[in-house]
Structure 1
Amino acid sequence: MAQIVVGLVLGIVLALLAPGAASAAGLLGSLFVGALKAVAPLLVFVLVASAIANHRQGQRTSIRPILLLYLLGTFSAALVAVLLSFAFPSTLALVQPKGGIAAPASIVEVLRDLLMNVVDNPVHALGNGNFIGILAWAVGLGLALRHAADTTRRALDDLAHAVGAIVHAVIRLAPLGILGLVASTLAETGFGTLWGYARLLAVLIGGMLLVALVINPLIVFWKLRRNPYPLVFTCLRESGITAFFTRSSAANIPVNLELCHKLGLPEDTYAVSIPLGATINMAGAAVTITVLTLAAVNTLSIPVDLPTALLLSVVASICACGASGVAGGSLLLIPLACSLFGINNDLAMQVVAVGFIISVLQDSCETALNSSTDVLFTAAACRAEAAKTDVVESPTS
């Protein structure tokens, strides 16, 4: 962690003192993110298949409660975004969007794309980072190999550890990667163009901070019945910071798997929950979709009643869960949410264009919240399950 902070500081200094060198240093960041993205699909595939193939009969996992936490967290984030948007209404200076962007027409289309990813060709899924398809094939292969020879299952386990060793080596380069990412971002984009959207960004980032520091801890406290903040801060520090700069949930999967290992969580649970969370646990995306949609509504002076606001929270949650199945992520699902208020697609796509303008900060904060929450809820569910087991097995209980 100290090395990452050093890399962060050096990146800022380099961007301020030598912008030309900072842009060149961006190669370090690109290599780091590229290495993480390259190894993540293979790691998920072999880790999940190995965990299921070597799963012991009678050993319990915590996938169901983790899924419940994922859905609860995403819906709660959408509600928070609605409340903040009502308390601090924002408006947009709508601009013409660039061509070549196509948004999904309905929730049915989003869910259909998500289901089609499940039956994707395994080679295509690995090559394109389709983690829903990778998970489906890994689970199927793992189940098929549960009755294979011990040597086969052992070989699969050895392969998982070998890929894990490569991941450890890549993660060791994180300080250099962070240095390059910070330096190049500050040197090439700067933050001057963001000041015009300061109020909107304040609502967006404020909502994500509220979810990360208040809502998520409350959910974890409900699950564990003890102080959640040590775990919350560990996840934000070890996962959130890296995700903020990589701006990629897929790239952060190896980081999250490594953190789960450090926390002592059961591998056969987090091997499935972490890549699944990178696909459907999207609290940050729910905040983005809700805040930008209501900003468009305020700009057009459209009245919003409570039932419609609650419906927006539900729609934003469903859209967020399907965000990874759509090119462009959460921003391209804004037109779908805008359609609830009768906003036509042309105007909605202008809102998407605004989203791309502020994405330097919006996407970074969104990814940090999404990715760190994957580990947080996985750890909370696993520790709650372990506590139940201890109570049942304790003779004094």
Structure 2
Amino acid sequence: MKQLLASWNKLSLVVRIIIGFALGVLLALTIPTYAKPLGLFGVLFVGALKSVAPILVFFLVMSAISLHKKGHKSNMQRIIGLYLLGTFLAGLTAVIVSFLFPVTLVLGESVNSITPPSGVTEVLKNLLMNIVDNPIRALYNANYIGVLSWALVLGLALQSAPETTKTMISNISDAISQVVKWIINFAPLGIMGLVLDTIIVNGIKSLFTYGHLLLVLVGTMFFIALVVNPIIVYLNIRKNPYPLVFKCLKDSGITAFFTRSSAANIPVNMELCHKLNLDADTYSVSIPLGATINMAGAAITISVLTLAAVHTLGIEVDFATAVILSVLSAVSACGASGVAGGSLLLIPLACSLFGIPNDVAMQVVGVGFVVGVIQDSCETALNSSTDVLFTATSEFAQWRKEGKEIVIPKKVRS
């Protein structure tokens, strides 16, 4: 038994996850009735990650800010610029693809059980209210905007604290990081439960419904991940971007695909940044921030489904309006994490640009939930992996300016 466990631990996390995925599919298709209780492993795994992620972010950011030395370069301006640029280009690409391959929907009954934001003003108001949220409530509700704001404020206040206090906070941060590593080791079991539950509840055929819409959504996300993002990386580091792109997709995107939560994937991204030898002062802030504002996948979802509604209703759209939609989808996507239901609930906001009634827009949201099994997984994988990609790109660009060699490890063990 010990030899078997040792052999299992020698495998990379990605291989173990693939094994867990395959086992989940096999159990769901062969003995669904008996295997159904195993879906609890998926709920426990995601629940554990979501539980530890807010407090991890809080102490990591607070520790990094309190220990920050004046004059130390953090590259945060470049990273934020890359986040915003990537999100806008994703929205613009989605608009272009939607015109090249127009999608029409069969709209049924309205979806009235959820309430979308009424406009951009409400989204921005919610964003500001999240910033000043009670710190305990922010941790409890996983309000990462509030967690970040309090961690930044307390970190700045603690810069003048005794070194022993800073050391204690750093030690707590390290301890929580260790807990996260223990949880991540259970990822294969958790992925098995998630896949098992998804197939049993939705059926294997549900993954192939709405093929054209899914093809446009997923195809655009792949285009961003494999074409647009590599171009952005190359323009910054002037080296072949694909080793870094593939590493981020493999080590971050795969886990994000299955957990379907950027927040739950924050610990995974932190660990990947550490193993890429990135500056902890930078990534301890940029990764949680990216989980909030770096939303290329969400921008794609908003643009594609909005234009699907436009094409279904036969509304004419000129180029200027399409560009406005790109900007609106990017701005809305940045606020998606603060709205219950994520990017889908911001579709009515974009639909309002074309005068589409809210009841029709909510039917489009309903279609979004139908394809959400695949759409949300791919969206989260793109969003989360790009957080690491752009953080690394910013630092590698700084290394290039300083004449340092940019070395991307060929193998990152988890």
TM-score interval w.r.t. the shorter chain? over 0.9
The residue number in structure 2 matching 1:153 is 166
Report the 3-state secondary structure (helix = DSSP H, G, I; strand = E; otherwise coil) of the residue aligned with 2:112.
coil
Let me know the Cα RMSD of the aligned residues.
1.0
Tell me if structure 1 keeps the 8 A contact 2:111–2:365.
no
The letter for the 1-side match of 2:361 is A
1:288 is aligned to 2:305: no
What are the superposed Cα offsets for residues 343-375 of structure 1, whole Å, 9 maximum, x if unpaired? 011111111111111111111111110000001
Match of 1:259 among 272, 282, 289: 272
Q: Is the 8 A contact 2:97 2:216 kept in 1?
A: yes
Name stretches of at least 5 consecutive residues in structure 2 with no aligned partner. Answer: 1-13, 405-414
The alignment status of 1:279 with 2:298, answered yes or no, reads: no
| Aligned position for 1:208 | 221
Identity %: 60
**Residues 218/22 of structure 1: CA separation in 2 closer, same or farther (3 Å cut):** farther
Q: How many residues align?
A: 391
Alignment of 1:117-128 (within 5 A): 117-128=130-141
Instruction: Tell me the amino acid that sits aligned with residue 81 of structure 2.
Output: L
- The equivalent residue for 1:31 is 44
Counterpart pick for 2:388 among 362, 375, 386: 375
Counterpart secondary structure, 1:249? coil
Contact conserved, 2:138 with 2:147, CA < 8 A, in 1? yes
Residue 191 of structure 1, CA deviation: 3.8
- 2:6 aligned with 1:14: no
Instruction: Verify the 8 A CA contact 2:74 2:282 in the aligned structure 1.
Output: yes
2:310 paired residue number: 297
1:166 aligned to 2:197? no
- Would you say the 8 A contact 1:22–1:184 is kept in 2? no
Q: Look up the equivalent residue of 2:92 and give its one-letter code.
A: L
Aligned to 1:111: 124
1: CA distance between counterparts of 2:314 and 2:71? 58
Three-state SS of the structure 1 residue aligned to 2:402 is helix
- The more displaced of 18-27 and 374-383 is 18-27
CA distance in 1, matches of 2:35, 2:75: 44
**What amino acid does structure 1 have at the position aligned with 2:191?**
I
Structure-2-length-normalised TM-score: 0.93
Change over 3 Å in CA distance of 1:193–1:179 after alignment to 2: closer
**Equivalent position of 1:189 in the other structure:** 202
After the TM superposition, which of the residue ranges 94-103 and 324-333 deviates more from structure 2? 94-103
Matched-pair contact (CA < 8 Å) for 1:22–1:187: no
Determine the structure 2 residue equivalent to 1:307. 320
Whether the 8 Å contact between 1:22 and 1:180 is mirrored in structure 2 is no
Give the distance between the partners of 2:26 and 2:207, measured in 1 at CA.
21
Native 8 Å contact 1:280 1:320 kept in 2: yes
User: In the alignment, does 2:101 pair up with 1:88?
Assistant: yes
In structure 2, give the amino acid aligned to 1:365.
C
Q: Which amino acid aligns with 2:355?
A: G
Equivalent residues of 2:24, 2:196 under 8 A apart:
yes
Letter in 2 for 1:120: D
1:49 aligns with 2:52: no
Q: Within 1, Cα distance between the matches of 2:119 and 2:230?
A: 33
Q: Please tell me whether the aligned partners of residues 97 and 352 of structure 1 are also in contact (alpha carbons under 8 angstroms).
A: no
- Aligned pair partner of 2:238 in 225, 250, 253: 225
State the 1:17 CA deviation.
1.3
> What is the deviation of 1:298?
0.4
Encode CA deviations 1:22-41: one digit per residue, 9 max, x unaligned: 32111111110000000000
Q: CA deviation at 1:194?
A: 5.0
